[in-house]
Amino acid sequence: MKDSHIGRRQFVRYSAAGIAAVASAKALAEESIASAQSSKHLHNKETKEADVLVVGGGTAGVIAALQAARAGCRTILVENGSMLGGTMTVGGVAFPGLFHAWGRQIIAGIGWELVTETVKLDDGRLPDFSIPTGRSHPRHQVRINPNIYALLAEEKCLQAGVELRYYETPVKAEFTDGRWNIEVVGKGTRMTTRCKQLIDCTGNGYMTALAGYPVLRENETQPGSLMFKIGEYYSRSVDQKLLREKYEEAVKDGRLVRKEFRNKIEGLLKKAGNNIHHISNADSTTSAAHTATNIESRTTLLETLRFLREEVPGCEKTKLLSMQPETAVRETYRVEGEYEITESDYTSGKLFDDAVCYSFYPIDVHDEHGVRPEHLSEGTFPTVPLRALVPKNSKNLLVAGRCVSSDRRANSALRVQASCMAMGQAAGAAAVLAVARNTTPLDVPLNEIRTLLAKHNAILPEANS
Ligand SMILES: Cc1cc2nc3c(=O)[nH]c(=O)nc-3n(C[C@H](O)[C@H](O)[C@H](O)COP(=O)(O)OP(=O)(O)OC[C@H]3O[C@@H](n4cnc5c(N)ncnc54)[C@H](O)[C@@H]3O)c2cc1C
């Protein structure tokens, strides 16, 4: 038992170093003495060769990297945060959906493997997918423990040979002689990666924009949400009329902002913080925008906590039980791709000739009042064409996740987690085959991509299915 633990830890250390051999204690000691004498190694310059570079280790990126590495590609995953999972884990949106539509499973593969193993390791339960949800589609979303998801995602990446690069971000991208040269910086490191295929899974189309391809953004974007949990107040003893009056006063004084709780303070107590906070113009694209978004959402949470404790009878002992480290962001930039999925493609369940996965969710555009999901008609199975994962006029570049090329309303449905995972796997498979053929993903025969995806347990869109 003990040995196997040691074995696993050693494995993880060796792989993470993929990176570098584990130094002996003596060597480490010597190194730290050397570092006291010279600061040179605090600013490492590295050059790396890879087949596939995935940028963004979130919902889509983890799956893209796993698919690429499991199919034999040397894969690097660059993530500017400290762990995997993105909005699912760091953002705390830990209820992925939808893997099922109209009585059958439509998304499986690597994402489903991770989700079901997460549920198992947490003694959780999968929803009963045989019971139709009607208009309550969240009933088919899978409640997961985000920390376990992050741990398993990391373990699986290391086992597959993915080189993980946390705390790093690309700052320059050039495509020459059929290869990408990507300059990546992080704490004390500057890496140039020469790779054959690049996959943008940043959620924001950051890599696509950096490489010089167009991205799109609406004048008004959906609000983001800081996920937190409050407790130890007594809802039943709270006088709702008084709560509203106090709230109106606080809004008038400028201490609280009306739309941040969807214009209704009662919802905050009812939901205890769960997915209720709405921050307008939330943006995670750049460090500056993300910093401003986080500061705003944390400031308003602190004000709200003080308001409840100091002004609302029954809430004097309210506690902030948990808070995610980052505001979860719903909408920023979308990539302008070789094809833009329209709302009508989505709601009619268009089966594209180059469909690589399904997606399933209501049209789901949030505003300051919350959201009124617009459900699909019975039997509708939207699909995602490979062309929507390819930035227009680009070569050897794919995107996956919420920045998929689509109009705003189609995107409000495509952005959900199961769909992002399916897109991630499809992008990973297309990249692998493009590497093998030394070409660009759109020149890979579609049947080869579909065959590889099926081999890795993905579900492929079919006519009359
Ligand atoms: C509040 C909220 C509620 C939601 N509710 C649901 C729901 O109920 N069910 C559902 O299925 N979906 C829901 N969604 C949608 C869904 O969670 C996201 O759209 C989806 O997770 C996005 O996945 P992604 O892979 O595109 O991006 P992310 O999961 O956000 O991953 C992007 C990753 O890229 C990294 N990154 C970004 N920029 C860089 C850079 N420059 N360099 C390096 N790394 C970078 C980020 O750190 C992150 O890890 C919700 C979203 C929000 C915000």
- Per-residue pLDDT tens over the stretch 420-438: 999 999 999 999 999 999 9
What total of structural domains would you count in the chain?
2
* The predicted structure's pLDDT at residue 36: 54
* The predicted structure's pLDDT at residue 21: 37
Helices 59-70 and 146-160 cross at an angle (nearest 10°) of 30
403 CA: nearest ligand 1 atom:
26
- Per-residue pLDDT tens over the stretch 74-130: 999 999 999 999 999 999 999 999 999 999 999 999 999 999 999 999 999 999 999
229 and 179 in a common domain = no
348 and 368 in a common domain = yes
* The predicted structure's pLDDT at residue 31: 56
> Of 223, 284, 275, 279, whose CA–CA distance to 79 is shortest?
284
Q: Is the pLDDT of residue 5 over 70?
A: no
268 and 133 in a common domain = no
- Whether residue 367 is contained in a domain is answered as yes
251 and 209 in a common domain = no
Mean pLDDT confidence for 238-252: 93
- Per-residue pLDDT tens over the stretch 377-414: 999 999 999 999 999 999 999 999 999 999 999 999 99
Q: Is the pLDDT of residue 69 over 90?
A: yes
Cα atoms in the Cβ-side hemisphere of radius 13 Å centred on 97: 21
Cα atoms in the Cβ-side hemisphere of radius 13 Å centred on 304: 28
- Per-residue pLDDT tens over the stretch 50-61: 999 999 999 999
160 and 54 in a common domain = yes
* The predicted structure's pLDDT at residue 262: 77
Residue 50: beta bridge partners? Answer: 195
- pLDDT above 70 covers a percentage of the chain that reads 91
d(CA 364, CA 253): 33
Q: What is the pTM of this model?
A: 0.92
d(CA 58, CA 220): 24
424 and 300 in a common domain = no
CATH number, residue 118: 3.50.50.60
- Per-residue pLDDT tens over the stretch 291-315: 999 999 999 999 999 999 999 999 9
Residue 73 Cα to ligand 1 middle (Å): 25
Is residue 407 within 8 A of residue 342, CB to CB? The reply is yes
> Of 199, 150, 151, whose CA–CA distance to 173 is shortest?
199
Mean pLDDT confidence for 240-255: 92
Is residue 279 within 8 A of residue 222, CB to CB? The reply is no
405 and 260 in a common domain = no
281 and 196 in a common domain = no
Residue 88 Cα to ligand 1 middle (Å): 7
Task: Indicate the helix (H) or strand (E) that contains 49.
Answer: strand 44-55
Of 430 and 267, which is predicted with more confidence?
430
Residues 6+ apart with CB under 8 A from 141: 95, 96, 97, 98, 127
275 CA: nearest ligand 1 atom:
1
96 and 70 in a common domain = yes
Of 7 and 243, which is predicted with more confidence?
243
312 and 279 in a common domain = yes
* The predicted structure's pLDDT at residue 276: 86
d(CA 271, CA 259): 16
* The predicted structure's pLDDT at residue 418: 98
Q: Cα torsion for 59, 418, 430, 81, to the nearest 10°?
A: 0
237 and 174 in a common domain = no
Phi and psi at 70, nearest 5°, equal -65, -25
Q: Is the pLDDT of residue 15 over 80?
A: no
d(CA 204, CA 216): 10
**Residue of 79, 93, 169, 291 best suited for mutating to test ligand 1, as the one with most atoms within 8 Å of CB:** 93
Between the ranges 16-25, 33-42, 331-340, where is the mean pLDDT highest?
Answer: 331-340
Residue 11 Cα to ligand 1 middle (Å): 29
- Whether residue 20 is contained in a domain is answered as no
- Whether residue 94 is contained in a domain is answered as yes
Mean pLDDT confidence for 208-228: 96
- Whether residue 1 is contained in a domain is answered as no
Q: Whose structure tokens read 């180059």?
A: 354
Q: Is the pLDDT of residue 26 over 80?
A: no
Q: Which domain holds residue 373?
A: 47-219+331-455
Mean pLDDT confidence for 28-39: 55
* The predicted structure's pLDDT at residue 227: 96
Average pLDDT, the chain: 91
d(CA 403, CA 395): 18
96 CA: nearest ligand 1 atom:
11
Nearest CA to ligand 1 atom 39: 202
Q: Residues in the chain, how many? A: 465
Mean pLDDT confidence for 267-276: 87
- pLDDT above 90 covers a percentage of the chain that reads 81
d(CA 65, CA 377): 34
97 CA: nearest ligand 1 atom:
11
Residue where one domain finishes, among candidates 323, 357, 386: 323
> Of 35, 78, 71, whose CA–CA distance to 57 is shortest?
78
Q: Please, what is the end-to-end C-alpha distance for the chain in angstroms? A: 47
* The predicted structure's pLDDT at residue 260: 86
Q: How confident is the model at residue 2 (pLDDT cuts 50, 70, 90)?
A: very low
Q: Whose structure tokens read 């209720």?
A: 276
**Residue of 202, 204, 412 best suited for mutating to test ligand 1, as the one with most atoms within 8 Å of CB:** 202
Instruction: Work out the burial of residue 342: count CB atoms within 10 Å of its CB; fewer than 13 is exposed, 13-18 middle, 19 or more buried.
Output: middle
415 CA: nearest ligand 1 atom:
19
Task: Indicate the helix (H) or strand (E) that contains 253.
Answer: helix 240-253
Show the ligand 1 pocket: residues with CB < 6 angstroms. Answer: 55-61, 78-81, 86-88, 91, 93, 95-97, 141, 169, 201-204, 206, 224-225, 275, 328-330, 401-402, 415-417, 420
- Whether residue 51 is contained in a domain is answered as yes
**Residue of 206, 417, 419 best suited for mutating to test ligand 1, as the one with most atoms within 8 Å of CB:** 417
